[in-house]
Amino acid sequence: MTTASQPSLGLRGFGALESLDARTRSALLDRTTSIDPAVRDATAVILADVRARGDVALRDMARRFDGVELDDLEVPRDQWKAALDDLDPALRQAMERAVANIATVHQAFVPSAVEVSPEPGIVVGRRPDPLERVGVYAPGGRAAYPSSVLMGAVPARVAGVREVVVASPPGSDGLPAPVVLAAAELAGADRVFALGGAGAVGALAYGTRSVPRVDRIVGPGNAFVAEAKLQVSGVVSIDSPAGPSELLVIADAGSSVDTVAREMLAQAEHDPRACVVAVVPSELFARQLRDTLQRTLPAQQRRQIIESSLAGQGAILWADTLDDAVAWANTYAPEHLLLCVTDADSLLARLRNAGTIFVGETSSVSFGDYMTGANHVLPTGGLARAYSGLSTVDFFRWTTYQRVDRSAAARLAGDVDVFARAERLFGHADAARAWVEDR
């Protein structure tokens, strides 16, 4: 019986995967990062204002959106150090461990230069060059996210980026949250600015008198931050279009219902628009899972957020076979994919579209969010079909070079001459023919 303290659990979808109606299927799959026109238009106005008025606009926005007067947009380095000195020792130890693991993992991802010779006398090479300056956005609002600072700044440092700039919204004291400042110090950031929302993105993209223009902006944020990143992507590189957190769990008959429920609750508490779906082996398992969520929900500290998430984008589906679950996962393309199955490694190679895959029941998504060293800045909205999670690779650009010796130039000239004339580029043909031997 449902009581006032235990409301009926709402879900967007509950049923057999094979008989999912078209409307529910579409609602679960269509998780695009496109924003409603009001947010899009408001973001465009903010970006135009930052571009036109720079620091003045940023101070006005801090006053309007954050309720603070900012004399200086940049946070002095001694404030970071003080925040780190005042940090709870247990939290500092955890953050230092995370920094070490992120650095170790991302060092292994650093790309190498390559050269190839398709013919004698021809060399084509590709060399990774670190970006000059990157901006790392760390959200504020409902909570402070020092982990976002670590996930952006540490890989950038490992990649050899010359300058790492952090932006995070100011609190009532005019400063980002102390844990964010402490994280910036631990991660080796170079500068921190008390800036939030679309205005921060605009400042990093266009540059102002106080804020340097960056080459790439990374890090999660709210709807306005996500929209701003999309709108400035023509003038600055971004990590990927981002939206609310997502989790897809695949379970089999040997899975723990309690474990699946915990993982769903953990991701649903991120945001009222978080997307949380479980594909389970039977209707009986599905009902047990729904009952477990129902029973444990009242004790959750972020209960209202979880309820909104589950009702809006949550689903419990049952599949006839693991093959069907794998096919659904590759179509759904989740940010996080957790394999709560007996032989998780057997599925790993068959799963192509996910931001990151957690292999096995003990591989909690929470471990990846904070401590394994993998990056938690990941594609959402089904964009894992084409985008990858943030890594050191994202902090390089590639320089391609090519070398052709005299003998190879003579051999290439004839075919290039024919090719160029076919495209009516006669100057190209003349430039090639100049190297024909005995001309």
Catalytic residues, by residue number, are 335-336
Torsion of CA 252, 385, 15, 274, to 10 degrees: 100
Order of strands across the sheet that contains 237-238: 191-194, 163-168, 133-137, 216-218, 237-238
Q: DSSP state, 393?
A: G
User: Residue type for 2, please?
Assistant: T
Q: What share of the chain is helix, strand, coil (3-state, %, to 5)?
A: 45, 15, 35
User: Which residue is associated with the tokens 């695949």?
Assistant: 250
Q: Which CA distances in Å does 111 have to 7, 105, 177?
A: 52, 13, 34
Whole-angstrom distance, CA of residue 52 vs CA of residue 198:
14
Annotate 30-99 with DSSP letters as a single string: -------HHHHHHHHHHHHHHHHHTHHHHHHHIIIII----S-SBPPHHHHHHHHHTS-HHHHHHHHHHH
Q: Which two tokens stand for residue 221?
A: 């944020």
User: With the C-alpha atoms ordered 301, 305, 307, 310, is the resulting torsion angle positive or negative?
Assistant: negative
From the list 226, 219, 229, the residue with the least C-alpha distance to 136 is: 219
Q: How do 191-194 and 163-168 pair as beta strands?
A: parallel
3 secondary structure, DSSP code: B
H helix or E strand, kind and range, residue 176: none
Query: CA torsion angle for 63, 149, 152, 102 (degrees, to 10)?
Result: 180
Burial of residue 428 (CB within 10 Å: 0-12, 13-18, 19+) is middle
